[in-house]
Amino acid sequence: MTDIRVPKLNNNDATYVLVDWLVDDGQQVKAGDPIVVLETSKATEELESEEDGFVWRVLPLNADCAPGAVLARLTADESRPVSPSPGVFPSADTPVAGDSAGGSVGPGSSERDATDGSAGAGSAAGGSVGGSAGAGSAAGGSVGGSAGAGSAAGGAADGSMGGPLITAPARALIDELCVDLAEVRALGVTVVRRADVERLAARSAPAPREEAAAPGESRRPATGRPYELPRVQRAVAKVVRVSHATIPAAYTVVKADTGPLLELAARMTREVRRPVGLPELVTSAVARLHADFPLCFATLVDDASALLPDAPHVGVTIDAGEGLYVPVIHDAARRSVKQIATRLMEYRLAALTGDFREDDLTGANIAVTLHHDGDVTLAVPLIFPGHACALAVTSPQAELRLDGGEVVTRTVVNIGMAYDHRLVNGRDAALFLRALKALLESPQETFG
């Protein structure tokens, strides 16, 4: 018998939510088969079986589970394993403390996003509820086995009466915003996540919280009333605070002639049938510099040492109007331009819904921020905690220059580099940018 345990998915959350079982209790699986879906504060993650066998569930739907907790047990035959020993989570067939007779409400909800600062329904400030039914929420608590507020009224939506499964963070927000459960069911999804509730609340909000904007302009918060920052923006704020408080940053910028590069990008778009532009080509070029400039991809360990990664994992900023995300092109130096273009196209679609997997948003060791507004001529990027460098690329702009006594036009972009001065000095930053400029200004040799 093998225990299937909750892995460590990210550093932001102490617990995750079990949002979906992909196999029945006692079902036979093969190694590599997906068996369960966990939700973190940022994304969802499918876990796969590492061995062949029969899966016996231990945790119920909607359970809060910490890294190391037993999710299920895997046996070599169809014999159900013995009951779990004391101290382990109850089996899927065991009612959770606080459940009503015949109900299927999982543990109470608790908001795990450190940037959110609010705890879910049923949690108590700073405390842990063991087996009582919670009704109302307060900041900072964790719930061990209580049924959150709204669980009784929302039984159908929680899945006990055939409705969609509502994750703990989503249920907490439903209670907080007093969202009608009929509207939640009308979403037509099998698993309702917090992002779904946020979009639903935004659509059904009464008087506009933001002033209308002309096409192409950013929406503006309405004046004279409180404006609640979206969850994604609160996450950005946390990163900004940590970055500015802990990283002594310096900044250098170069100008690159990208006319031939953009011509190549247009041809490659037709050839690979994927959108190829500055984001794809700059990402590829940055990754190619990893071998020559490993410190620009390093992570500071302490005042005397740094960890040099064995591969470049490039984070690329994407903001589709629903919040800023930084998905990662993993091992980017080994990927072709077509592969990078395909991945970024998938990420842009995911940014519209916030439907990222945990792995999509973790593991970067350098970031590229993109500015598409033609009036932006210079930008200082934010260095993410744990990174040594971040790059900012402006939109292409026409520039007049003298060439042999004649006035000619060329297309240029400014590429700025912010760097942690504890790891990278000004000379190294200049050499890195010069090498990047050379790759982009010789596109046929670099990408052809």
Q: pLDDT tens across 10-57, in order?
A: 766 778 888 889 898 999 999 888 899 888 776 778 888 889 999 999
The fold adopted by the segment(s) 238-447 is Chloramphenicol Acetyltransferase (3.30.559)
* Neighbouring C-beta atoms of residue 433, cutoff 10 Å: 20
- pLDDT band, very low/low/confident/very high, at 223 (cuts 50, 70, 90): confident
Q: pLDDT per residue over 100-122, tens digit each?
A: 333 333 333 333 333 333 333 33
The span from the CA of 258 to the CA of 413, in Å, is 7
Give how far Cα 80 sits from Cα of 57, 72, 153, 262, Å.
10, 11, 34, 61
pTM of the model: 0.56
Tokens of 183: 């509207």
Per the model's pLDDT, the better-predicted residue between 412 and 94 turns out to be 412
The span from the CA of 330 to the CA of 363, in Å, is 8
**Over pLDDT 70: what percentage of the chain?**
74
- pLDDT number for residue 322: 67
**Where are the domain boundaries for CATH 2.40.50.100 in the chain?**
2-75
| 366 has a pLDDT exceeding 90 | yes
Range list of H helices, 150-213:
168-177, 181-185, 194-204
The span from the CA of 16 to the CA of 132, in Å, is 21
Per the model's pLDDT, the better-predicted residue between 320 and 446 turns out to be 446
| 303 has a pLDDT exceeding 60 | yes
Geometric angle at alpha carbon 230, from 224 and 236, rounded to 5°: 115
- pLDDT number for residue 61: 83
- The answer to whether 308 and 288 are in contact (CB under 8 A) is no
Q: pLDDT per residue over 57-100, tens digit each?
A: 999 887 888 888 899 999 988 888 865 443 343 433 333 333 33
What residues have CB less than 8 Å from 411, skipping those under 6 apart?
Answer: 257, 258, 259, 262, 396, 397, 398, 399
Give how far Cα 398 sits from Cα of 97, 252, 369, 377, Å.
67, 22, 21, 11
Mean pLDDT for 424-442 is: 96
Does residue 377 sit in helix, strand or coil?
Answer: coil
* Neighbouring C-beta atoms of residue 414, cutoff 10 Å: 18
Q: Which amino acid is at 347?
A: Y
The fold adopted by the segment(s) 2-75 is OB fold (Dihydrolipoamide Acetyltransferase, E2P) (2.40.50)
3-state secondary structure 147-166: CCCCCCCCCCCCCCCCCCEE
Does residue 381 sit in helix, strand or coil?
Answer: coil
Give how far Cα 445 sits from Cα of 270, 290, 310, 387, 421, Å.
19, 18, 25, 29, 32
| 9 has a pLDDT exceeding 70 | yes
Does residue 119 sit in helix, strand or coil?
Answer: coil
Q: Which amino acid is at 309?
A: P
**Where are the domain boundaries for CATH 3.30.559.10 in the chain?**
238-447
Give how far Cα 363 sits from Cα of 48, 263, 332, 339, Å.
20, 32, 12, 18
- pLDDT band, very low/low/confident/very high, at 220 (cuts 50, 70, 90): low
Give the residue among 56, 53, 57, 58 at the shortest CA–CA distance from 77.
Answer: 53
- pLDDT number for residue 225: 77
Give the residue among 311, 312, 313, 306 at the shortest CA–CA distance from 327.
Answer: 313
C-alpha gyration radius of the chain: 25
Does residue 357 sit in helix, strand or coil?
Answer: strand
Helix axes 337-353, 259-272, angle to 10 degrees: 80
- pLDDT number for residue 262: 94
Residue that is written with structure tokens 């047990």 in the block: 73
The span from the CA of 38 to the CA of 64, in Å, is 9
Helix, strand, coil: what percent of the chain each, to 5? 25, 25, 50
Q: Is residue 269 within a helix (H) or strand (E), and if so which, with residue range?
A: helix 259-272
The span from the CA of 239 to the CA of 383, in Å, is 9
The span from the CA of 416 to the CA of 412, in Å, is 13
Mean pLDDT for 305-309 is: 94
- pLDDT number for residue 249: 94
The span from the CA of 445 to the CA of 441, in Å, is 9
- pLDDT number for residue 257: 95
The count of residues in the chain is 448
To the nearest whole number, what is the mean pLDDT of the chain? 77
Please, which residues bridge with residue 446 across strands? none
Give the residue among 173, 188, 240 at the shortest CA–CA distance from 39.
Answer: 173
Backbone angles phi, psi at 65, to 5 degrees: -135, 135
Q: pLDDT per residue over 263-301, tens digit each?
A: 999 999 999 888 899 999 999 999 999 999 999 999 999
- pLDDT number for residue 224: 74
Give the lowest-confidence range in 20-24, 174-178, 244-248: 174-178
- pLDDT band, very low/low/confident/very high, at 164 (cuts 50, 70, 90): confident
- pLDDT number for residue 101: 32
Does residue 113 sit in helix, strand or coil?
Answer: coil
Tokens of 86: 């004391």
